[in-house]
Structure 1
Amino acid sequence: MNAPEFNEKQLLADIDQLRGQFPQTQDLYREVCILLFFRYGVTPTTNKLYQLVRKGSMSAPAEALGRFWEDLRDKSRVRIEHPDLPESLKTAAGELVAQLWSSAQAAAQEGLAELRGDAQIQVAEARQLQAVAEADRDAIRASHALVSQTLEQAHARIGELEQALAAREATIAALEGQLQNARGENTGLLQKLEEARRDFSTELEKLRAAASLAEERYRASEARALMEIDRERTAAARLQKELDATRKTAEQQAERQRVETSTLNQQLGDFRQRVGELEGNLKEVTTNRDLVSDELKTVRNLLNDKHAHATRMENEAIELRVQLDQAQRKLEDLAKVAKPVRQRKPKPV
């Protein structure tokens, strides 16, 4: 008898139907063995049964297959020992059944060994998969903890950044206020510097004019004093010569001019008075000269004071210029700091 054509889809459909009819594992494997061997002409093996049924432990198909061959052998022996069969047919049938039994046993053992090997491989793979799954689980837990920690740190960092941003905005507002104040101070300093320059120029011109005038007065006074001194010296020298001449004349004419002695004495007194007056004038001129010298010294001291004042004003102007440069650099630094902060907008959380 030819074996029916093998249709795997139909086989799977029949096995699904048997699953509902035979809920017991051994009964299901037995019926699948019968289905394969008698309907589809396929010799059942342990591996084949397990691949089709996938139920129970891996020893269940081997046990069911063994019982199937044992039942088949028992039933075949009954038929073979039927009294109506000839002896030669009984012998041939017995040998055929024995051969089938041996082949079935070998196939069953081979399928069992293959199934055991597959089972061991599947167990090893399952254990490996379990280890990998446990490692993945631990990694996922660690990753989840790390992600939670990172998320908390991120929230904390966001809070810090928001606080820093608020502080930065407050700092920018304060810096802008300082910038406006610095600009106002800068304008005031420039005005003060310009006023100081004008005052310094005016005061310097006044000092120069006063110094020139005092110098001219001193030269004129000195020239007048020198002229007076020369004139008084000339007069004194002339009077001294006249006195000497008079004395010589008086000595020579003492006897002749005794009468004129009183007159000459009177003239001499007048001359002495005149000399005293001249000497007084000389002292007055000397005093005037000293006063002029003192005035000149005073003017020079005043000029030196004005020069020192001008030097101080120049130093103050230089300090104002340095402060102005520092304020300008501070403005530039503030502008540089404020510019990137304005350009950098906070990212949405």
Structure 2
Amino acid sequence: MDIAAANEKQLLADIDRLREEFTQTQDLYREVCVLLFFRYGMTPTANKLYQLVRKGSMTAPAEALNKFWEDLREKSRVRIEHPDLPEVLKTAAGDLVATLWSAAQAQAHETLASFQGEAQVAVIEAKAALAAAEADLDKAHQTRQKVQQALGQANERIAALGQQLATGGATNAALESQLVQAKEENTSHQQLLEDARRDFAAELDKLRAAAQLAEERFRAAETRALLEIDRERRAAVKLQKELDAARNAGNLAAERHRAEVAALQDQLGDFRQKAGMLEGNLQAVITARDVAVTELKGIQTQLANATAQMSLLRTDAENWQRQAEEAKRTVAEMRDAQKPTRSPRKPKAE
């Protein structure tokens, strides 16, 4: 019966239990023989015993197996020689035991020879392994020396690194403290920056509102200035017409009023010069308006200049208004001056 056909797991568990109960090698092998033969119905062999127990030398299982068969033979002989057994049964039992004993002894001798051959091969292999192990041991000693040297160097390096680590730890602690302080300062700076941004945004909104108001005022002033200039231009056209009428009337009395006409021509030249000045001032106002509109895009830096330019425009407008009033007064004076010099004539019939 093969071991694989039996409950091998239970067999190994029983052998482990026997290991704990029997510490002597021969006793352990004997009990394993009993276990195999009587419980599992297996014929014990030295090879099988050694595979299961693996304790002691190669000859230990064979010796234990011989002792097992001797004990079994002795016990069987006692039972066979029992006086109550019939003679035929005694003879048959004796023949059976003798046969079993012969077979077991032959199997034991074969197993012993096999174990001896295996032992010799194992001895040769063990000697070769021992030589190789000794060579490996020499190499291991050399390697151990090198490793010890390297270990000494490594320990020195570790000590140096430990000092560096301690120094680095102190430096790291200082850096961490600086980092914490820097983070706190950064938080404070961020808060100040946010406050400054809010203040700047509020100030910018104020400046934008002021700039918009200034632009609206400037546009209103520009509109008023343009209206004034247009009004003065219409007045100048009207004056030109009146001057033309006065010139026609003066031509009728050219001989008598030559001196007055020359004076009027001088005044007319002055008026034309003033009208040209008004045109130039109008162009300057238009140019100043374009410059002011362009400068309004940079509100923060050009607001004061725009306000000053507006003041100048207002001053020019007032000057133009005064000049126009002076021109009106001059024309009125010219009309008043022309009235006494006309000769009284009867109106012509239509």
Could you tell me the TM-score, scaled by structure 2's length? 0.39
Of structures 1 and 2, the one with the larger relative CO (CA 8 A, separation 6+) is: 1
Could you tell me the TM-score, scaled by structure 1's length? 0.39
